Amino acid sequence: MNPRFFPLANASAIFLVALALLSPLGVARGANPVRHTNLANAKLGLFVHYVFGLTQAAPGKPPLKNVNEFANDLNVKGIADMASTMGAQYVVFTAYHWRMTMLFPCPFWRSAFPNHDSNRDVIKALAKALKLRGIKLVLYIHPDDRHDFSKAMLDKLIKLGWSSRRTLKKCLLHSYPQFEPYDRKWNRFYYRLLGYMGRLFGNQIAGYWIDDGDAAANGVKVRNIICHYTPHAAIWANGYKNSAPATLIGGENWTLFDHNPKPHLYNTTSAQTAVVIARSWWASAGTLQYTPAAMYRYLICTIGTKGQHNGGVVYATSPFSNNQWETGVPAGLETLGKLIKSRAQSIYNTVPSRAYVSGDAAAQKPKWGVAVDSMDGKTVYLHILMPPKGRSLQIGQPADHVQFSSAHLLNSRSLRIDSNRRGYTLVLPPGMKWNPVDTVIALKVK
């Protein structure tokens, strides 16, 4: 794996942290600053690519052909429950994709393309179900889906003045062009659609996940439209794009994990990473590819990665139209949720550690695992993913020169902690063993 990594500089935030460190009050070793953007410090999301025309009606069955039947059949409570069960803080859900079929009423689009929007507002229904569980909603959209339009639809776009002939010819020649052609007419339509969606959903959602790197639209204009209706919106532009409209960095991966049967440290990235965990983005009779332990350990490796303030990991899987999930997915995500819940204090509301820094490559992580710091900087949590053979673990000197006053297993007993020239030695109490998935040690900062 060769993850792409784009560090973001924030001079003002760095300056403020420097002042805090130099303060005569000496308090505080403040935690790493988090950008004032929705979901920047989120750790885990669920990506539900429920797509009319692509999602199978049931395992092995072709997709439904009527958008209203497709929209009406979706059990939004089931999605909200799945997200809650796995410990997700947000859900990325497809507002429209294949041939721009909207899963919400869109009168001006319907007037041109009947049967390409739904009577049921799936977005509002899902937003309500998620809000009851304290989970945020992010909408997946595509800036230029003309590449999979029929010729009749493309001709109608021209007639309506929503597209030019030159760019449509390119769409017809390439089933999925690497870069969409720039088209002022189409962009004007896209901005209109964004404004309409903003008025409908702006205060009910946390942001947008935009496919195809936002194509050739004016990124600043797109961001301004979105943020007008959704202040501080989380906006990812697929392809790990770090310029407007993106406010956070992220992208998609059809596969990511290596299938090493032994526990190990993963390569990660400081960007949000969306990972397909079954067969495809949409339900297509696949099977869960990864064990819950592997998904958990990859999550931990990610949240400890230096610069990870981009929304963490998003695991992508979707229900069929009959609301059945692909084989192994419900049980796998439930087990993942249990692993997270038992260690929640050391996962949520943390930042990548400054004491024991993890780079994106496995070789750049501490040999025993990864670390995160509490938001107030008073606790360093060590996630021991690669434990020693005996009860004694040697850790290095903290990179930020903090000192520790005590150590204890998360939600459990104290550990012996001895300071030495190489750093600290931590010793498990007699009779206790390292957890093969993850042993969490909390170090209190003096």
Domain ranges in the chain are 11-346, 353-445
- Weakest mean pLDDT among 148-152, 294-298, 435-439: 148-152
Domain 11-346: homologous superfamily in CATH = Glycosidases (3.20.20.80)
Lookup result for tokens 């532009």: 237
Mean pLDDT for the stretch of residues 284-313: 96
pLDDT digits (tens, 9 = 90+) for 165-224: 765 555 554 444 444 567 889 999 999 999 999 999 999 999 999 998 888 889 999 999
Residues 198 and 205: their CA atoms lie apart, in Å, by 9
In a 10 Å sphere around its CB, with 0-12 CB exposed, 13-18 middle and 19+ buried, how is residue 45 labelled?
Answer: buried
Residues with Cβ within 8 Å of residue 266, at least 6 apart in sequence: 257, 258, 297, 298, 301, 302, 362
Residues 357 and 398: their CA atoms lie apart, in Å, by 9
Residue 36 clears pLDDT 90, i.e. is over it? no
Q: What is the pLDDT of residue 416?
A: 95
Residues 75 and 69: their CA atoms lie apart, in Å, by 12
Residues 140 and 121: their CA atoms lie apart, in Å, by 15
CA–chain centroid gap for 153, Å, is 33
For residues 343 and 352, the answer to whether their CB atoms sit within 8 Å is no
- For 266-282, b where at least 16 C-beta lie within 10 A, e where not — what string? bbbbbbbbbbbbbbbbb
For residues 167 and 154, the answer to whether their CB atoms sit within 8 Å is no
pLDDT band at 103 (very low <50, low <70, confident <90, very high): very high
Average pLDDT across the chain, whole number: 89
pLDDT band at 344 (very low <50, low <70, confident <90, very high): very high
Tokens of 361: 């490559």
Q: Is the pTM of this model over 0.85?
A: yes
CATH of 353-445 given 2.60.40.1180, 1.20.1280.50, 3.90.105.10, 2.30.110.10:
2.60.40.1180
